Amino acid sequence: MTQIVVDTTKCVGAAQCVLSAPDLFDQDDDGFVLVLEENPTGELAQSAATAATLCPSQAITVQD
Quote the pLDDT of residue 49.
Answer: 98
Strand partners, 59: none
DSSP label at residue 8 = T
> Which residues, at least 6 apart from 62, have a Cβ–Cβ distance to it below 8 Å?
2, 3, 4, 5, 45, 48, 49, 52
Question: 33, 25 in Cβ contact below 8 A?
Answer: yes
Assign a CATH topology to domain 3-57. Alpha-Beta Plaits (3.30.70)
Quote the pLDDT of residue 61.
Answer: 98
Q: What is the pLDDT along the chain (64 residues), one digit of tens a residue?
A: 999 999 999 999 999 999 999 999 999 999 999 999 999 999 999 999 999 999 999 999 999 9
Quote the pLDDT of residue 46.
Answer: 98
pTM reported for the whole predicted model: 0.94
